[in-house]
C-alpha cells in the first residue's frame, strides 16, 4: 500500500518530540555555544575590517592586518562547518532513535 500525505502543519510540539530522541540537553548546549561562537566571530570579522580601514594608508599596508583578517575569516568558516555538522548529527541521531523506537 503506498504512503499518503496527510494535510496539516508541523507544530513546535512535533519538533520537540523529534529532538527528545536526540542527544539531550548536552547536545543543545553544545549547539548553542557553537552558534554563539559563530555569531561572535562574524562580529569580530566586521570589527577587524572596520579597524583596519580606519587606519592611515601607511598603517594599512602592514602585513599583520591581512593575516589577522584572514585568520578570523578562516576561523569563521571552520565554525560554520562545525555548526552545520553538529545540527546534522543531532537530527540524524534523533531520527534514527525515533525510527528504532517505532519499530519496537
> In the chain, what are the domain boundaries?
16-102
Whether the pLDDT of residue 103 is over 80: the answer is no
* pLDDT of res. 104: 67
Model confidence, pTM = 0.78
Mean pLDDT score, 22-36: 91
SS3 state of residue 22: coil
Classify the C-alpha dihedral 41-47-50-52 as positive or negative.
negative
What kind and span of H or E run contains 7?
A: none
Q: What is the pLDDT of residues 11-27, one digit of tens each?
A: 888 888 888 888 888 88
Amino acid at each position: 500500500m503506498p504512503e499518503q500525505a496527510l494535510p496539516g502543519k508541523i507544530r513546535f510540539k512535533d519538533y520537540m518530540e523529534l529532538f527528545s530522541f536526540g542527544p539531550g540537553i548536552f547536545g543543545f548546549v553544545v549547539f548553542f555555544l557553537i552558534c554563539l561562537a559563530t555569531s561572535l566571530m562574524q562580529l569580530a570579522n566586521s570589527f577587524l575590517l572596520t579597524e583596519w580601514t580606519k587606519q592611515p594608508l601607511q598603517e594599512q599596508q602592514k602585513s599583520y592586518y591581512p593575516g589577522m583578517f584572514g585568520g578570523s575569516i578562516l576561523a569563521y568558516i571552520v565554525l560554520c562547518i562545525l555548526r552545520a555538522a553538529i545540527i546534522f548529527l543531532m537530527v540524524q541521531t534523533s531520527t534514527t532513535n525515533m525510527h528504532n523506537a517505532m519499530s519496537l
